[in-house]
Amino acid sequence: MRACYKCKTTNQKLFQTFGKFICLDCLQKRRTGRKGHSGMIYDSTVKEKDYYDNSLKNIPLSLKEVPKSHKLFAKWFFEHYPNSKGIVGRQLNFLIYRYGRPIGIIGFNSPPVNYRKFYEFFNLDPSLPASENAKKLLNNNVFRIIHSEKNLGTQILKLARNQVRRRYKEKYNDELIGLVTFVEPPRTGAIYKADNWVYLEMTQGIEVKRRGENWIHKQYSKGVKKHIFVYRFS
């Protein structure tokens, strides 16, 4: 018998989110997260210098996995996406280090898979639940370099691709078949092009939100059209 993965109840109607079943009571509690940011807190007083890592001081470029609640990660994330409600679903979040100094962030989380082009490009099985297909992909939801240098972006992206594929298997015991990302104009996605990602098309600019007592139901609104890039692991 199916039960809520949080409270274990079997006496309420259950809803499937990110491959798990949850009751309405727990769904409503989880919806807001902590201060409305899914457990991520913005703190403007966080100092970059407090997160230097001497163990990485001889390494030119490295990624350090951190939880989404990590203070510096959250600060740089919300400064990049001030209207975000935080990160949900499966995820891998990293601080980017150069010779022991944090220089940026990069993150990946569960993607939307309701794009026909995703099913075509990755040969996803449309007969499977969307939550099952979502387990095969990750969305590069944030990539921000605070202290940049020439060609650094492509180096980071290549490093991230390799590390994320390995860590995803270790953490979730599923194989990644590819990555996706959405780039908002006027950005063109030049870094992804340089890293051999494939350009699909522009989104239709429709945002899907879940709010209030009807949070379990999709609500559509007009949003910003974005470029879609995809990368298939060989």
Question: Rounded to whole angstroms, how far apart are CA atoms 202 and 57?
Answer: 41
**Distances in whole angstroms, Cα of residue 27 to Cα of each of 21, 82, 223:** 10, 24, 25
Domains of the chain: 1-32 (no CATH), 33-232 (3.40.630.30)
Q: What is the CA radius of gyration of the chain?
A: 18
Question: Rounded to whole angstroms, how far apart are CA atoms 215 and 28?
Answer: 8
**Residue the block writes with tokens 């969305």:** 139
Sequence-separated (6 or more) residues with CB below 8 Å from residue 229: 180, 181, 182, 183, 189, 192, 193, 197, 198, 199, 200
Q: Tens digit of pLDDT for each residue in 5-50?
A: 889 988 887 776 555 677 877 765 654 334 446 789 999 899 999 9
Residue 105: how many other CB atoms lie within 10 Å = 24
Q: Tens digit of pLDDT for each residue in 75-102?
A: 999 999 988 889 999 999 999 999 999 9
Amino acid identity at 214? N
Chain CA centroid to CA 67, Å: 12
Higher pLDDT, 214 or 67: 67
Q: Tens digit of pLDDT for each residue in 215-233?
A: 445 554 466 899 999 999 9
Calculate what percentage of the chain has a pLDDT beyond 90. Answer: 67
Mean pLDDT of 179-205: 93
Higher pLDDT, 122 or 1: 122
Mean pLDDT of 201-210: 69
- What is the band of 4 on the pLDDT scale with cuts at 50, 70, 90? confident
pLDDT of residue 209: 55
Q: Is 111 left (phi over 0), alpha (psi -120 to 50) or beta?
A: beta
Q: How much is the pTM?
A: 0.79
- What is the band of 126 on the pLDDT scale with cuts at 50, 70, 90? very high
Q: Where are the alpha helices (DSSP H) in the chain?
A: 24-32, 71-80, 116-122, 130-134, 152-172, 190-194
Residue 114 tokens, joined: 């309701």
Question: Rounded to whole angstroms, how far apart are CA atoms 219 and 214?
Answer: 9
Residue 208 has pLDDT above 60, yes or no: no
Sequence-separated (6 or more) residues with CB below 8 Å from residue 162: none
Q: Tens digit of pLDDT for each residue in 103-116?
A: 999 999 999 888 88
